Amino acid sequence: MGAAGAPEMSAAALADFRAATRAWLAKNCPAGARGPGPIPWGSSKVEVGADARLWLERMADRGWTVPTWPRRYGGAELDKDRYAVLVDELKRIDARPPLTGRGVNYIGPTLLELGDDDQKARWLPGIARGEGGWAMGYSEPGAGSDLASLSLRAVRHGDNYFLSGRKIWTSDAMQADYIFVLARTSPDKPKHQGISLILVDMAQPGAHVRPIRLLSGASPFNETLFENAVASAADVVGGVDNGWTVGKRLLQFERSTHAGINISGSQGGRTATSTLPPIVARYAGVANGRIVDAALRERLIRHEQNDHAQRLTQRRVIEETAARAPGFASSAVKLTGALNAQDGHEIRLAAMAVAGLGWQGDGFSAAEIEASRDWLRQKALTIAGGTKEIQLNIIAKRVLGLPD
């Protein structure tokens, strides 16, 4: 049996699939959807280029924005073997994924697993086509790591829920068409039991977004305020007061996405070859084919080994996972990936020395300024989707079975 429980494909059938996929991609992937560049995430407020739009439409028509989803929800029902071939072939031509974001990667897979038939039919085909960008309303000023302390209220009147309260650190909320929120539906129950996961339309008078300005001048984060915002009772996912279970599963899809092991989303494409060795060599100097600084050389070798091990682990976890995305293993792979990415940026900065300290001004090239900003941005990797300490707690308790 194949890893997904489907009959093993014969080598010949897989080779045929590869040849057909390669031919189709060569013909249908526009030049402007290859190489670095923006990837659409469904937002109706973000302009994407003509080629990116065409790429999205063509891939959606084929079911390849969400290749493993059932056909009736916009997928192509690929098993893991064919999914891996598709990803390989996308990487071979350096194609960007046609669609990304919290729709295809987080809430879509959650609906597929825990939504009811009506929710799946109403939401999934649009998500697969990138019709609407999603934000994630989990964190609140008093509820980050201790998420179950959240206090956004959802009160039922008739067929609707009315939401009041405040979310924070809501990435991309100012451009989102929809948001999934964790809200308190039964304040009298113990805190983990009175929570529901609800889908909310952002285009309504009761939903307000306030950008949070960062030191860099950018505002990727927001405060999202709900003042009697309306959501349909039909859009409570996985049952009323069952949001803790549903919300935790969604977090596993998020962490799996960060970790590159969420096969139920839109991942794939773009070769992630390491650009670090040539940068370190350029700044730190090379003699006799070796980076001169022995300590830096050692760090770089260890980093590249870890990077390689991370990719092998990603492959292994995907092969071993029976479900659409791994459970608690997602915490481990997310954490090691984040730590290694941060380590790579530390090494790059160490090699660049003073050139890596630029923030603005003429003394630095655009690439150098980007390098120092990138180095800072990477620090968020061990906060977003649950902090490093929270992942370590999960690994200790749920993976290693250590006592509380």
Ligand X SMILES: Cc1cc2nc3c(=O)[nH]c(=O)nc-3n(C[C@H](O)[C@H](O)[C@H](O)COP(=O)(O)OP(=O)(O)OC[C@H]3O[C@@H](n4cnc5c(N)ncnc54)[C@H](O)[C@@H]3O)c2cc1C
Q: Which residues bind ligand X (CB under 6 A)?
A: 136-139, 144-145, 169-171, 380, 383-384, 386-387, 389-390, 393
Report angle CA 318, 322, 324 to the nearest 5 degrees: 70
Q: Based on CB atoms, which residue is closest to ligand X, 130 or 133?
A: 133
Rounded to the nearest whole angstrom, what is the least distance from the CB of residue 108 to ligand X in the complex?
16
Q: Which residue is nearest to ligand X (CB)?
A: 144
Q: Based on CB atoms, which residue is closest to ligand X, 176 or 263?
A: 176
Active-site annotation holder among 140, 223, 254, 298: 254
- The Cα–Cα gap between 108 and 99 comes to 13
Contact between 40 and 52 under an 8 Å Cβ cutoff? The reply is yes
Rounded to the nearest whole angstrom, what is the least distance from the CB of residue 268 to ligand X in the complex?
23
- The Cα–Cα gap between 9 and 82 comes to 9
Amino acid identity of residue 357, one-letter, is: L
Q: What helix, strand, coil percent values describe the chain, rounded to 5? A: 50, 15, 35
Q: Is 254 a catalytic residue?
A: yes
Rounded to the nearest whole angstrom, what is the least distance from the CB of residue 78 to ligand X in the complex?
29
- Residue ranges of alpha helices (H) inside 260-365 are 276-284, 294-320, 329-352
Rounded to the nearest whole angstrom, what is the least distance from the CB of residue 209 to ligand X in the complex?
12
Rounded to the nearest whole angstrom, what is the least distance from the CB of residue 146 to ligand X in the complex?
6
Q: Based on CB atoms, which residue is closest to ligand X, 159 or 404?
A: 404
Contact between 9 and 69 under an 8 Å Cβ cutoff? The reply is no
Q: Based on CB atoms, which residue is closest to ligand X, 70 or 144?
A: 144
Contact between 134 and 224 under an 8 Å Cβ cutoff? The reply is no
CA dihedral 147, 184, 398, 304 (to 10 degrees): -50
User: Active-site positions?
Assistant: 254
